[in-house]
Amino acid sequence: MRNDDLLSPLRYQGGVLELLDQRILPIEEKWIGYRDYREIARAITDMVVRGAPAIGCAAAYGVAIGAKQGAALSEVIATLRATRPTAVNLFWALDRMQRMSPPSPENLEREAIAIHQEDIAACVAIGNFGAPLLPAGNVLTHCNAGALATGGYGTALGVIRSAQQAGKKFTVFVDETRPFLQGSRLTAWELQKSGIAVQLITDNMAAHFMQKGEIQSVVVGADRIAQNGDTANKIGTYGVALLAAAHQIPFFVAAPLSTIDLKTADGSQIPIEERSSREVTHIGDRALAPAGIGVRNPAFDVTPARLIAAIITEKGVARAPYAASLKLVKVE
């Protein structure tokens, strides 16, 4: 695949990082230019850029830009580390940038570009490993683990793209993914743009369509995979995994090795980000709930490894017991 055919949420040239503003898709396709690492940190917190691998790529460019600005590397990295806690790709990318020696602006820029390009290649490889696993029939996905969430091509949507390129015929059921609506705003947009058949559903419809026999597999991305295979992903993923198990539908996780955190023993150790109550009480400026109401808004949940049929990486497919298989694909 040629890189210029590829949808990517980030582009970098001449010391400027441009991000496709994912807060306003699909209404508007607007690119914002960044020349300051502190603004890149804010863009990650505010979800201008989101999705675990894309956050890692943006942070790496943030370090390169911080170095060009002449800021202390320790301060740049500390600022970027404090943006979002769950996706381990952020910390993986920052650790990799920190290891760069010597940490010259040129070397850091080259390393950031390499992280971005390697992520695209990883997604294509994930797609090729994952496509043959999908049984005949329709597939459901949750949140956005597509080109928009990665360097490009996507993890879960990479599997779906590769399956379509291999000639498989199916419809993708897309959960809208409350409260930030990554499914309806981003996944539906991205798949439509790629000419892949979509049925958009609200999150509470998945059980119904599984019961009706309209969904034959589930594939999702991941924000952090613990050593035992427990997987943090967008809030609601655990519920989908339980539904899939109840209907004997295989539930696949697609993620690059940068998402696997062998230092975290199990899912209970994964930090779960809690975001603003406003994401739940409002859509845009419109209130959906009484003012002052108590709200919880965890952005992620953890799917236990026992519910996962396989974890698809760029180095191959890991299956239970994950404590052994993940160590084989990710040699540290």
Q: Which residues bind ligand MRU (CB under 6 A)?
A: 50-53, 87, 143, 145, 149-150, 155, 182, 221-223, 233-234, 299
C-alpha closest to that of 127 among 167, 164, 177, 77: 164
Least Å distance between CB 1 and ligand MRU? 17
Burial of 320 (0-12, 13-18, 19+ CB in 10 A): middle
- Residue with Cβ nearer ligand MRU (69 or 128): 128
Give Cα separations from 136 to 40, 73, 131, 192, 235 (angstroms). Answer: 42, 50, 11, 21, 27
Residue nearest to ligand MRU (CB): 221
How near is the Cβ of 209 to ligand MRU at its closest, in Å?
20
Q: Give 67 or 80: the residue with its C-beta nearer to ligand MRU.
A: 80
> Rounded CA gap, 120 and 214, in Å?
31
Report the nearest approach of ligand MRU to the CB of residue 269 (Å): 18
Question: Which of 251, 207, 249, 210 minimizes the C-alpha distance to 231?
Answer: 251
Beta carbon of residue 256, minimum distance to ligand MRU (angstroms, whole number): 8
| CB nearer ligand MRU, residue 108 or residue 140 | 140
Nearer to ligand MRU, 145 or 318 (CB): 145
Cis peptide before 26 (omega within 30 of 0): yes
Nearer to ligand MRU, 161 or 234 (CB): 234
- d(C-alpha 303, C-alpha 305), whole Å: 6
Compute the least distance from the CB of residue 146 to ligand MRU, in Å: 7
Closer of 52 and 120 to ligand MRU (Cβ): 52
Tokens of 192: 């439509």
Instruction: Work out how close the CB of 174 gets to ligand MRU at its nearest, in angstroms, rounded to a whole number.
Output: 12
Contact 261, 271 (CB under 8 A): no
**Shortest Cβ 143–ligand MRU spacing (Å):** 4
To the query of whether residue 203 is one of the catalytic residues in this protein, the response is no
Residue 305 contacts residue 320 (beta carbons within 8 Å): yes
Q: Which is nearer to ligand MRU, 65 or 220 (CB)?
A: 220
Residue of 264, 255, 260 lying closest to 331 (CA atoms): 260
Handedness of CA 291, 183, 253, 9 (dihedral sign): negative
Nearest to 115, CA basis, from 132, 85, 86, 93: 93
Classified as helix, coil or strand, 218 is strand
Nearest-angstrom CA–CA distance, 87 and 310: 20
Tokens representing 305 are: 């490894």
CA angle 90, 267, 187 (to 5 degrees): 55
Tell me which of 21, 223, 261, 301 is the catalytic residue.
Answer: 223
Q: Is 184 helix (H, G, I), strand (E, B) or coil?
A: helix
Distance of alpha carbon 137 from alpha carbon 276, whole angstroms: 38
Please list the active-site residues: 223
